[in-house]
Amino acid sequence: DQQVKQNSPSLSVQEGRISILNCDYTNSMFDYFLWYKKYPAEGPTFLISISSIKDKNEDGRFTVFLNKSAKHLSLHIVPSQPGDSAVYFCAASPGVGYKLIFGSGTRLLVRP
Amino acid sequence: NAGVTQTPKFRILKIGQSMTLQCTQDMNHNYMYWYRQDPGMGLKLIYYSVGAGITDKGEVPNGYNVSRSTTEDFPLRLELAAPSQTSVYFCASILTGVANYGYTFGSGTRLTVV
């Protein structure tokens, strides 16, 4: 029973274009959402987060959108760069500091 | 400032052997976590700790044990290793009350049980 789902295992985009990574969740108790980026042979690194009181959060080229009614969030990367090529994990929690439930990840490839 | 340090980075175990995966953090974080990542899967929570002397089970605790005698250290013990425990193990920590920053992860321990 996956509470956090990333239905696209991979995504390929051209450098300079927008990358959109999607995530769906089922537990209505989740109110804090995070995106992590992972390079091979490294641990995940925190990228951006959003709480349920917001529907958008921006940090430079990265924007996370939250649609609570649809239980859906997305990460937009604009413009995409080859260094963004990595696996991106969506994670959800009922509150800051609580256990995180992770999705299965989306492998992003940004082609030069 | 080292962050979260995991040792060893790689290990091969035979079925039935035991080992301890070490995790230490120097950020004075109170919450610590152990996750495992299987190929093509997300991270599954094994155990977590909200402070020294307090631990609790996550989603997949069977076959593992933990202890938290200090704020800095959170070792994960595998008893009677099985092939199903072949995975990459990540330790993570966070300071509660500090919003928006997420966990800090270690670089992982790749374990193979043969």
Domain ranges of chain B: 4-98
Model confidence at B101, pLDDT cuts 50, 70, 90, reads low
Sorted by sequence, the CB contacts under 8 Å of residue B57 that are 6+ apart come out as: B47
> What is the per-residue pLDDT for A38?
95
CA–CA gap between residue A20 and residue A63 (Å, rounded): 10
CB-nearest to A44 from B58, B98, B105 is: B105
Per-residue pLDDT averaged across B12-40, rounded? 94
Model confidence at B2, pLDDT cuts 50, 70, 90, reads confident
- The correct answer on CATH 2.60.40.10 for the domain covering B4-98 is yes
State the amino acid at position A30 in one-letter form: F
Instruction: Report the chain A residue with the minimal C-alpha distance to residue B95.
Output: A97
Per-residue pLDDT averaged across B19-27, rounded? 96
Model confidence at B98, pLDDT cuts 50, 70, 90, reads low
Structural domains of chain A in order of their starting residue, each with its CATH number: 4-111 (2.60.40.10)
Per-residue pLDDT averaged across B29-55, rounded? 92
Interface residues on A facing B, Cβ-Cβ cutoff 8 A:
4, 6, 9, 34, 36, 41-46, 49, 51, 89, 91, 96-97, 99-105
Contacts of B40 in chain A (CB under 8 A): 9, 104
| A33-49 per-position pLDDT tens digit | 999 999 998 999 999 99
Per-residue pLDDT averaged across B68-76, rounded? 97
Q: Where are the alpha helices (DSSP H) in chain B?
A: none
Model confidence at A72, pLDDT cuts 50, 70, 90, reads very high
Give percent of chain A with pLDDT exceeding 70. 96
| B3-21 per-position pLDDT tens digit | 999 999 999 999 999 999 9
Choose from A24, A90, A100, A106 for mutation: most chain B CBs within 10 A.
Answer: A100
Model confidence at B40, pLDDT cuts 50, 70, 90, reads confident
Which segments of chain B are extended strands (E)? 4-7, 10-13, 19-25, 31-37, 43-51, 54-57, 64-66, 76-78, 87-94, 104-105, 109-113
> What is the per-residue pLDDT for A31?
85
Q: Is the Cβ–Cβ distance between A50 and A73 less than 8 Å?
A: yes
> Whose CA is closest to B23, among B10, B33, B12?
B33
| B47-63 per-position pLDDT tens digit | 999 999 999 999 999 99
Give the position of tokens 């996550």.
B58
Q: Is the pLDDT of residue B97 over 80?
A: no
Average pLDDT score, chain A:
93
Q: What is the largest CA-CA distance in chain A?
A: 40
Q: Is the pLDDT of residue B99 over 60?
A: no
Instruction: Report the chain A residue with the minimal C-alpha distance to residue B33.
Output: A99
Q: Is the pLDDT of residue A95 over 80?
A: no
Q: In what order do the strands lie in the sheet with B76-78?
A: B4-7, B19-25, B76-78, B64-66
